[in-house]
């Protein structure tokens, strides 16, 4: 039976191009998952967009001498280029700076407010004495009041991990110009998180299928909840729909609050664009629908605690009760799928330290599927993982090119040269049936892994079929059977059938190569649809708006073994994957920022 599956993908912050650490956390895993779910016939809605508000955007715009609007217009396009280049099959990739997003954020807030889950509170806000402007928390540095770490940030101490208030820092100073900030009283809105501790615990008790580290981490967070600010003194963001706040020049929602609401607002925008404005409800209202959230581990808090609390508050289902808001009773996450970090020389990718490999540079040199393969097979699924050029070159050459590319190439070439079409299997032997049974059985094992976001195990099982097919060819040696064409053709037919099966199994991981293999096997039409950029008109805020979308519902690859038609014409294929120069493994490409040993 067809199920409704929401794939909610973390929103990249619109302050620069993406690096390969970002896309290994949220991008490639969510796309592999969505492509698999579509192939088994589920109704998938995969949504995300660029996160465009908040103080870091404003500070960066100041530094570049431009406006926040110009900055996010530029980087939302750059990020779209990265994601479309990787072939990430978003149903909608939009932006938070649209009218629609602002409206949905305000509606959700209104429900929280009416149900009594938002508390006004007078706090101390930092002001820069030289400019008179609000100084954002993360641009204040000082001594941690808990562990005495000298470089704690205003919002959090990176040493002890505690959330902080900038007014509590010892010897506070501006990270922008070093001056001492002034603190003045200012009113903010707080989400009353302690009022969700019972309901969040009850909900987490039902999340038995989560990865244990995510579940335990989330439980610990709930035991220590404090009210959290959802407003800021800033003039770039979503306005607060309350009397006295609505027109205030320096009051907006805190960027974390509006960003998590993006999953919902993007679903609403997708529905409006589809021509059925209520279509989003099948993913958000139907209790049978499921919702999978993909992100890096630094974002777990927002998806396993904050966003569920907002949803419970909207639904009137927090510890204080209430009634559902305008948008109705909304589904909570089915699962929070988080990745660990991709590192380089043991450290997180860091733009400021220059240890960074940008997606755009990578794609220009190596194309999308080599990166997708590397992330799936060697990425940070369960632990922090170091990226090295040596391993990238080794995986590309020995696994993609030698194992998979070579299997496709020699099977199709031999059949094309000797027969010119898919040959007929007239002389079967037990070895053929054994290999075919193995490749058919892989659909359920690989599928089970993919359904549980176990990508490494899934691609490992798929590549095992490729390995078995190569061993079969080496053993059966069809190239030595000139005098026995019936047996030779049977072997080639078996090999082509297994190439087709393996190609189906690898389609979620390698959609670009899968389309080429489909064509090499004589297939026509779209096998694995790709996203494209589309002009979506106005944002409603005085700027034009483009989105990523695609048609993934047409006649395409299905998750099943289908018989390859005997007699279908074949021609000699072009190689699937180019082998890389092994010297690249020692030095990296010329544009790579850090060389091994530096
Ligand atoms: Zn500390």
pLDDT in tens, 415-459: 999 999 999 999 999 999 999 999 999 999 999 999 999 999 999
Between 307-315 and 255-274, two packed helices, what is the crossing angle to 10 degrees?
70
pLDDT of the residue at 542: 64
Given a cut of 80, is residue 155 above it in pLDDT? Answer: no
Distance 160 CA to ligand 1 centre (A): 4
| pLDDT, mean of residues 536-565 | 87
Residues 584, 598: Cα–Cα separation, whole Å = 16
For the chain, what is the radius of gyration of the CA atoms?
27
More confident residue, 343 or 364: 364
- Neighbouring C-beta atoms of residue 239, cutoff 10 Å: 16
**Residue written as tokens 């699924």?**
381
Q: What is the largest CA-CA distance in the chain?
A: 92
Distance 192 CA to ligand 1 centre (A): 24
Q: Is 587 annotated as a binding residue?
A: no
Residues 210, 559: Cα–Cα separation, whole Å = 25
Do the strands 228-229 and 182-191 form a parallel or antiparallel pair, or are they unpaired? Answer: antiparallel
pLDDT digits 0-9 by tens, 237-290: 999 999 999 998 889 999 999 999 999 999 999 999 999 999 999 999 999 999
Q: Is 160 annotated as a binding residue?
A: yes
Under the phi-then-psi rule, with left for phi > 0, alpha for psi from -120 to 50, and beta for the rest, what region is 293? Answer: beta
Is residue 322 classed as helix, strand or coil in its secondary structure? Answer: coil
pLDDT digits 0-9 by tens, 197-238: 999 999 999 998 888 888 988 999 998 899 999 998 888 999
Determine which of 121-130, 160-169, 455-464, 536-545 has the lowest per-residue pLDDT on average. Answer: 536-545
Q: Which helix (H) or strand (E) holds 48?
A: strand 43-50
Distance 220 CA to ligand 1 centre (A): 18
CA atoms within 13 A on the CB side of 10: 27
| pLDDT, mean of residues 344-354 | 72
Tell the burial category of 145 from Cβ atoms under 10 Å away from its Cβ (0-12, 13-18, 19+).
middle
Q: Give, as one character, the DSSP assignment of residue 255.
A: H
Distance 320 CA to ligand 1 centre (A): 33
pLDDT of the residue at 154: 83
- The model's confidence at residue 136, banded by pLDDT at 50, 70 and 90, is confident
- The model's confidence at residue 118, banded by pLDDT at 50, 70 and 90, is very high
Distance 351 CA to ligand 1 centre (A): 24
Distance 150 CA to ligand 1 centre (A): 9
| pLDDT, mean of residues 338-366 | 83
pLDDT of the residue at 233: 83
Distance 143 CA to ligand 1 centre (A): 8
* Residue (of 359, 559, 286) closest to 448 by Cα position: 559
CA 114 to chain centre: 33
Distance 157 CA to ligand 1 centre (A): 5
Distance 147 CA to ligand 1 centre (A): 4
Distance 167 CA to ligand 1 centre (A): 14
* Residue (of 323, 331, 328, 268) closest to 113 by Cα position: 323
Given a cut of 70, is residue 598 above it in pLDDT? Answer: no
Distance 318 CA to ligand 1 centre (A): 31
pLDDT digits 0-9 by tens, 50-85: 999 988 898 789 889 999 999 999 999 999 999 999
Given a cut of 80, is residue 541 above it in pLDDT? Answer: no
For the chain, how are helix, strand and coil distributed in percent, rounded to 5? 45, 15, 40
Mean pLDDT of the chain: 93
Q: Is 351 annotated as a binding residue?
A: yes
Distance 545 CA to ligand 1 centre (A): 42
| pLDDT, mean of residues 39-49 | 98
Is residue 120 classed as helix, strand or coil in its secondary structure? Answer: strand
Distance 432 CA to ligand 1 centre (A): 63
Distance 137 CA to ligand 1 centre (A): 15
Given a cut of 60, is residue 595 above it in pLDDT? Answer: no
- The model's confidence at residue 596, banded by pLDDT at 50, 70 and 90, is very low
Q: Is 123 annotated as a binding residue?
A: no
Q: Is 549 annotated as a binding residue?
A: no
In angstroms, the Cα distances linking 193 to 233, 240, 278 are: 21, 19, 30
pLDDT above 70 covers a percentage of the chain that reads 97
Under the phi-then-psi rule, with left for phi > 0, alpha for psi from -120 to 50, and beta for the rest, what region is 572? Answer: beta
| pLDDT, mean of residues 317-333 | 98
CB of 424 within 8 A of CB of 409?
no
Distance 129 CA to ligand 1 centre (A): 26
Q: Which two tokens stand for residue 22?
A: 């970002």
- The model's confidence at residue 133, banded by pLDDT at 50, 70 and 90, is confident
Residues 497, 557: Cα–Cα separation, whole Å = 15
Task: Give the pTM.
Answer: 0.93
Given a cut of 60, is residue 594 above it in pLDDT? Answer: no
- The model's confidence at residue 472, banded by pLDDT at 50, 70 and 90, is very high
More confident residue, 348 or 246: 246
């Amino acid at each position: 039976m067809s199920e409704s599956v929401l794939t909610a993908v973390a929103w990249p912050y619109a302050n620069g191009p993406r690096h390969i650490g970002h896309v290994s956390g949220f991008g490639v895993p969510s796309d592999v998952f969505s492509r698999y779910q579509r192939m088994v016939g589920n109704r998938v809605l995969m949504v995300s967009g660029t996160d465009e508000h908040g103080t870091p955007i404003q500070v960066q715009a100041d530094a570049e001498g431009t406006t926040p609007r110009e900055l996010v217009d530029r980087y939302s396009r750059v990020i779209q280029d990265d994601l479309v280049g990787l072939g990430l099959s978003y149903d909608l990739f939009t932006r938070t700076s649209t009218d629609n997003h602002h409206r949905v954020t305000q509606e959700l807030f209104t429900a929280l407010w009416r149900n009594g889950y938002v508390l006004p509170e007078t706090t101390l806000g930092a002001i820069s004495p030289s400019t008179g402007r609000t100084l954002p928390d993360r641009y204040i540095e000082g001594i941690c009041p808990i562990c005495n770490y000298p470089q704690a940030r205003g919002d959090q101490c990176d040493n002890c991990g505690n959330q902080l208030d900038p007014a509590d820092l010892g010897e506070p100073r501006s990270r922008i110009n070093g001056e001492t900030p002034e603190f003045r009283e200012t009113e903010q809105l707080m989400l009353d998180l302690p009022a969700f501790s019972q309901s969040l615990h009850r909900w987490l008790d039902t999340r038995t299928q989560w990865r244990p580290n995510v579940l335990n981490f989330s439980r610990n967070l709930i035991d220590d909840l404090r009210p959290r600010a959802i407003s800021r003194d800033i003039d770039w963001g979503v306005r607060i729909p309350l009397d006295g706040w609505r027109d205030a020049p320096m009051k907006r929602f805190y960027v974390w609050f509006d960003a998590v609401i993006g999953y919902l607002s993007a679903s609403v925008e997708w529905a409006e664009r589809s021509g059925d404005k209520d279509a989003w409800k099948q993913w958000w209202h139907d209790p049978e629908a499921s919702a999978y959230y993909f992100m890096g581990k630094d974002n777990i808090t927002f998806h396993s605690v904050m966003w569920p609390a907002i949803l419970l508050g909207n639904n009137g289902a927090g510890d204080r009760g209430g009634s559902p808001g305008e948008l109705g009773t909304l589904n909570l996450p089915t699962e929070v799928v988080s990745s660990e970090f991709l590192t380089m020389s043991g450290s997180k990718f860091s733009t400021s330290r220059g240890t960074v490999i940008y997606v755009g540079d990578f794609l220009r040199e190596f194309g999308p599927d080599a990166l997708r393969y590397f992330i799936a097979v060697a990425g940070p699924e369960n632990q922090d993982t170091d990226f090295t050029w040596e391993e990238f070159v080794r995986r590309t050459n020995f696994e993609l090119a030698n194992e998979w590319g070579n299997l496709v190439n020699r099977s199709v070439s031999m059949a094309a040269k000797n027969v010119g079409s898919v040959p007929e299997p007239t002389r079967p032997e037990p070895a053929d049936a054994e290999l075919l049974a193995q490749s058919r059985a892989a659909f359920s094992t690989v599928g089970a892994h993919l359904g549980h976001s176990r990508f490494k195990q899934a691609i490992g099982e798929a590549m095992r079929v490729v390995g078995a097919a190569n061993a079969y060819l080496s053993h059966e040696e069809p190239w030595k059977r000139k005098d026995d064409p019936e047996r030779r053709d049977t072997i080639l037919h078996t090999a082509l059938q297994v190439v087709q099966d393996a190609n189906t199994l690898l389609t979620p991981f390698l959609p670009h190569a899968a389309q080429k293999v489909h064509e090499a096997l004589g297939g026509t039409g779209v096998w694995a649809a790709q996203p494209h950029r589309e002009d979506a008109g106005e944002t409603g805020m005085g700027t034009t708006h483009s989105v990523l979308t695609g048609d993934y519902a047409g006649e395409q690859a299905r998750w099943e073994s289908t018989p390859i038609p005997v007699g279908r014409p074949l021609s000699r294929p072009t190689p699937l994957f180019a082998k890389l120069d092994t010297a690249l493994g020692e030095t990296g490409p010329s544009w790579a920022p850090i060389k091994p040993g530096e």
